Structure 1
Amino acid sequence: MSTFSHSGWAVFRNGDFRLFCAARFLSGLAYQMQAVAIGWFVYDLTRSALALGLVGLAGFLPAMLAALVTGHVADTYDRRLVAAISFAVQACASFGLLAYALSGAPAAWPVYALVIVVGTARAFANPSLQALLPTLVSRDLFGAAIAWNSSLWQSSSVMGPALGGLLYAAGPAVVFGGAGASFALACLCVGAVRFRPAPVSERPRVSWATLSAGLHYIRSQPVVLGAISLDLFAVLFGGATALLPVFAAEVLHVGPLGLGALRSMPAAGAVAMAVLLAYRPLRRHAGVRMLRAVAVFGLAIVVFGLSTSLPLSMLCLLVTGAADMVSVYVRQTFVQGETPDAMRGRVAAVNTVFIGASNELGEFESGLLAAAIGAVPAVVAGGVMTMLIAVAWGRLFPALRDRDHLLRPQ
């Protein structure tokens, strides 16, 4: 057996890592199921692209506003406990959506309110989970752990939208109920992780210096800053997820099941790439490969925007997922592998804001632009902008472009 395949499987001998991955998979499955149901539910109520964009904004604002606090919490308290409480809150929000869907009320604003609750809980869960992972595996298995964790998360992103679209045929309440149950199981899994943090003799005093330490650290690391900001602006302009209900209904003329299939394609591409990276980790030219992957992502978005064929559209979204996985793999390895453990939560919180800005805020930008110029022109323009960003970042961040190895030798 090759060294690559050995490291790919060896990480699963760790029981805590398996529980961690189960929690990530179940929470991802719940989130993706719920995202499909919320998107179609809101579009049914409003028939507005802008309303879809507001869903993304409602999910992003809590992560942005609470970033400094959530990172401090992840570095101060038991990260397992923080994640478990966050999953429990998300389960309650899902059951709230279930109750509202059963009520038959026509307004969309309660959905936005519950999305804010979910976004707030995720704002606490994500930094804690990102900071917890490096403490569960040895350094030599860290690359494989990142790849497997990402592949399982993306697997949930394949199954979640497809399952959500399928269950939506029985009504949105069925999807929201299933999501709530899955969040509850994720809470139990992460709570069962046996890892115990090192005892803290004295909790750090809350101050601007401690809260903003993660931001200052990222600013001092040009490779990390370049990788995070590249992902931010690329997906901010190039993301098309928020507009998939519009494409499914008005361009490709497919229903909720077709929407679920479209939403699954990026994750399917990401899973395939993540499994490949788990067996064949990137050893050289990490920075250049990240920049090229972002350019390929933008090109695939352009073709998707121009497509009127369901198979071609699905293929384009598959390519975007594979390209994005390369970017995620490189960025997460930089952020989680080189940050001191005492600061991982705060750095991860800032990273979460950047990711949220690229995803949820990108959804708002897509909805706003689509309301102004139409869904197709908005997606095509975003793909072109992403390709230009990949070129520009190669010049603005030469340290990222010239970075060879993923992890610096100790």
Structure 2
Amino acid sequence: MEDRRLNALDVLRIPEYRNFITARFFYVMALRMVTTIVGWRIYEITHNPLAIGIIGLSEFLPAFGLALYAGHVIDKSDKRALLLRTTAFYLLCVAGLLALSFGPFVASLRSHWVQWLTYMIIFCTGVIRAFAGPALQAIVAQIVPKEKLANAVTVNTSAFLFASVLGHATAGFLIAHTSYLICFSVVGCYAVIAWFLLFSLSPKQIMVARETKTWDSIKEGIRFVFHTKEVLGALALDLFAVLFGGAVAMIPVYARDILKIGPIGFGWLNAADDIGSICMMIAMTLWPLRRRQGYILLYAVFGFGLCIIVFGLSKAYLISFLALLCAGMLDGISVVVRGTIVQVKTPDDMRGRVSSVNSMFINSSNELGQFESGVMARLLGVVPSVVFGGCMTILVVVTTWFKAPSLRKMEY
């Protein structure tokens, strides 16, 4: 048992992987802090849940629209150099948010200008994410040997989720006790640390040496995903689960108007999902799934939908926190199974394009799900919209169970 645990964490003995995972940790901390701070601030300005949805739409549109082209660029680029450029551009966006938090400058603007300028900056971060997100996934296979790739995926995801928890919680604490200027200054410091750690990595080989027309390259990546049924099934299931189960987008509304828990409680409630995922990631690192991964994936997403319904109906902070904690644990299973399938099944020369398709299915669906939650909250009310999302997630799982038997029986 002890040997197996050591083997699961053996990937951390690779110095370059440790630098990479630390850089990604600080980068994700910055991303999550921006999400939490901007969501709270926009709702504070507007008191309109649809305004929170527009934040998600602002980031979704460029991230989704550029994803396939970004995959082509990633496969034809040195991924280290690309990550250095995208992190530098992200620092510029943080500088913009800092400017919108500077007292004399904000005093000269009306609140709606602060709102719409924030949307513009978030749109720019969506452009950056279209390239940075898939590059962060694709570069892992160039840092660790193939036999350690599955463990690297699990450790990578664990670090991502731990950074998410600290990012959300830190943002809530800073919102409560400091100014927005200090909040975004801390974000900027984290992004600078990430840049220096990425700079310490060695340049990476360009995996696609041949010249290929952009559109032909993009079609090749799409064709691979749609012809690899295990990858397509796992991505499609997660897409709809994230799309309809995006209750996290409404947490600012629950924190302020339903649970009345203030910014610190908001930060922890925002982090509950990620805390649950971290617990599951640790368990799955030490005790990996050995068989019946397809069945486990479907059961996990079904349970995720039930947890979202409980959260939507809850009026008690503890129950709401526990519901999101359990949702995160079940989502953690889904993340590990999907991520392992994508990494193991993808050839080295297509990792950028496949990671970009994965980004379209999963990462962009978070922002689209945030917009969907905002629209449904406007039409149905906040509580019915969250319950509706949980019910739709369950319906997707039931449909997948009968329509995709190959995913149900999948093992790796």
User: What per-residue deviation string (whole Å, max 9, x for no partner) do you get for residues 257-278 of structure 1?
Assistant: 1110111101101111111111
Q: Which range moved further: 70-79 or 390-399?
A: 390-399
Distance in structure 2 (CA, Å) of the matches to 1:3 and 1:391: 39
Distance in structure 1 (CA, Å) of the matches to 2:127 and 2:39: 19
% of aligned pairs identical?
39
Instruction: Please report the TM-score for the alignment, with normalisation by the length of structure 2.
Output: 0.95
- Is 1:253 the counterpart of 2:231 in the alignment? no
Residue 207 of structure 1 deviates from its aligned partner by 3.1
Paired residue for 2:304? 297
- Residue 352 to residue 198, structure 1, CA distance change in 2 (3 Å): closer
Q: Which range moved further: 218-227 or 128-137?
A: 128-137
Q: Which range moved further: 205-214 or 277-286?
A: 205-214
Residue 146 of structure 1 deviates from its aligned partner by 1.1
Conserved 8 A contact 2:11-2:144: yes
Residue 300 of structure 1 deviates from its aligned partner by 0.5
> RMSD in angstroms over aligned alpha carbons?
1.3
User: What per-residue deviation string (whole Å, max 9, x for no partner) do you get for residues 225-264 of structure 1?
Assistant: 1100100001100111211100001110111111101111
Distance in structure 2 (CA, Å) of the matches to 1:195 and 1:297: 40
Paired residue for 1:88? 88
* 2:213 aligned counterpart, secondary structure: coil
Structure 2 residue ranges without an equivalent (≥5): none
Paired residue for 1:331? 338
Task: Report the number of matched residues.
Answer: 404
Conserved 8 A contact 2:78-2:206: no
* 1:212 aligned counterpart, secondary structure: helix
- Residue 199 to residue 365, structure 1, CA distance change in 2 (3 Å): closer
Distance in structure 1 (CA, Å) of the matches to 2:327 and 2:161: 13
- Residue 195 to residue 85, structure 1, CA distance change in 2 (3 Å): closer
Paired residue for 2:230? 223
User: What per-residue deviation string (whole Å, max 9, x for no partner) do you get for residues 181-234 of structure 1?
Assistant: 21121122122112631686x452333111222111111011111100100001
Match of 2:155 among 143, 148, 156: 148
Structure 1 residue ranges without an equivalent (≥5): 406-410
Match of 1:272 among 270, 276, 279: 279
Distance in structure 2 (CA, Å) of the matches to 1:187 and 1:206: 31
User: What per-residue deviation string (whole Å, max 9, x for no partner) do you get for residues 345-389 of structure 1?
Assistant: 001001101113320000000000000111100001111111111
- Residue 78 to residue 252, structure 1, CA distance change in 2 (3 Å): same
- Is 1:185 the counterpart of 2:193 in the alignment? yes
Paired residue for 1:133? 140
Distance in structure 2 (CA, Å) of the matches to 1:71 and 1:81: 15
Distance in structure 2 (CA, Å) of the matches to 1:390 and 1:57: 25
The 5 Å alignment of 1:310-325 reads 310-325=317-332
Q: Which range moved further: 51-60 or 191-200?
A: 191-200
User: What per-residue deviation string (whole Å, max 9, x for no partner) do you get for residues 298-320 of structure 1?
Assistant: 00000000111111101111111
Distance in structure 2 (CA, Å) of the matches to 1:307 and 1:4: 40
- Residue 33 to residue 174, structure 1, CA distance change in 2 (3 Å): same
Distance in structure 2 (CA, Å) of the matches to 1:12 and 1:178: 27
- Is 1:205 the counterpart of 2:212 in the alignment? yes
Distance in structure 2 (CA, Å) of the matches to 1:4 and 1:297: 29
Residue 34 of structure 1 deviates from its aligned partner by 1.1
Instruction: Please report the TM-score for the alignment, with normalisation by the length of structure 1.
Output: 0.96
